[in-house]
Amino acid sequence: MKKQLAMTRDPAATAKTLSEALPYLQRYAGAIVVVKFGGNAMGDQAAMAEFARDIVLMRQVGVNPVVVHGGGPMINDLLARLGIKSEFVRGKRVTDKATVEVVEMVLTGLVNKRIVQAIMDEGGRAVGLSGKDDDMMVCEPDDPELGFVGKPVEMNVQVLRDLFSAGIIPVVAPVATGMNENETFNVNGDTAAGAIAGALKADRLLLLTDVAGVKNAAGEVMTQLTPEEVRQMTDEGVIAGGMIPKTETALAALDQGVRAVVILDGRVPNACLLELFTDQGAGSMIRTTEPRVKPREA
């Protein structure tokens, strides 16, 4: 079946696509790209395999990818099965001791290893970690009302650089240690990805979501924004709801030295490759420099 599908593709079009990608392959050789993976794609086996294939390809052409993942639906499912009720404050889950234990089990065990296995199934080398490993991410409480929900205050990312040197793709679960002994914190996936990208001074932070990107007041996806535009759109209520924490993460990452952040639709096939290796890119890019050029220099 695979051979039949391959024969239906136009070899000349494939060769042309590869040739046009050369400037971008050169541009991103050796670059660090942090990818936040989550949403509907995590529960779909075919989408998971496609994402893993893209990550392996990125590593194959010289990019150093870091995958940071969430797992909210899986956490909800296990909490329900265990009869642990969740309370919410201002739309955020209150994470007590019992809940954070479930979060750690699901994220570092079930979800993390599924992603690692998917990458290895596509021929890559991957190692699963959490923010607790080597004290990569040390947190303090984000809000006392939320319990064990953490805000990163100290980052130690040498272990990620060591994995890059070994040709291994790190897959990081957003669970972190606390400043006090025996503390475990649940960290928002976007927040964790932004903190890791900032600590690595990553070239790109890609936040995969279930929407096409940041939309203006007319409902059109904006392909390019500056931090000033993001703040203005937030003040005007154009950026609202679940997009606010993503854009806040983007602005914080830029402040820490990330060159650009892209919010893009992870449901689109090969979304990461479209963003990195094509003229048009994908989603909404937030950065402080001039608009995209060919090839993109920022």
pLDDT digits (tens, 9 = 90+) for 29-44: 999 999 999 866 677 8
How far apart are the C-alpha atoms of 152 and 133, rounded to whole Å?
14
Largest CA distance in the chain: 60
Taking alpha carbons only, the member of 209, 197, 201, 200 closest to residue 70 is 209
Fold of 29-286: Carbamate kinase (3.40.1160)
Interatomic CA distance for residues 162 and 274, integer angstroms: 28
Q: How confident is the model at residue 177 (pLDDT cuts 50, 70, 90)?
A: very high
Q: Which residues of 46-62 are buried (b: 16+ CB within 10 A; e: fewer)?
A: ebbebbbbbbbbbbeee
Give the pLDDT score at 159. 97
Comparing CA positions, the residue from 273, 282, 165 lying closest to residue 214 is: 282
Q: From 283, 207, 217, 189, select the one nearest 250 (Cα to Cα).
A: 207
- Tell me the two tokens of residue 171: 């897959």
What pLDDT is attached to residue 134? 95
Q: Could you tell me the CA-to-CA distances from 64 to 21, 56, 202, 237, 262 in Å, in that order? A: 17, 10, 10, 36, 17
- Mean pLDDT of all residues in 254-274: 92
Quick check: 292 pLDDT over 80?
no
Contact 63, 28 (CB under 8 A): yes
| Size of the chain, expressed as the number of residues it contains | 298
Give tens-digit pLDDT for 86-137: 887 766 788 999 999 999 999 999 999 999 999 999 999 999 999 999 999 9
How many CB atoms neighbour CB 249 within 10 A? 26
In this structure, is the dihedral angle defined by the CA atoms of residues 252, 253, 257 and 263, taken in order, positive or negative? negative
CA-CA distance, 131 to 16, in Å (whole number)?
Answer: 41
Q: What percent of the chain has pLDDT over 70?
A: 92
| pTM tops 0.85 | yes
* Share of residues in the chain with pLDDT > 90 (%): 67
- Rounded Cα distance between 210 and 212, Å, is 7
Output the pLDDT for position 178.
94
Kindly report the three-state secondary structure assignment for every residue of the chain.
CHHHHHHHCCHHHHHHHHHHHHHHHHHHCCCEEEEEECHHHHHCHHHHHHHHHHHHHHHHCCCEEEEEECCHHHHHHHHHHHCCCCCEECCEECECHHHHHHHHHHHHHHHHHHHHHHHHHCCCCEEEEECCHHHCEEEEECCHHHECEEEEEEECCHHHHHHHHCCCEEEEECEEEECCCCCEEECCHHHHHHHHHHHHCCCEEEEEECCCCCECCCCCECCEECHHHHHHHHHCCCCCCCHHHHHHHHHHHHHCCCCEEEEEECCCCCHHHHHHHCCCCCCEEECCCCCCCCCCCC
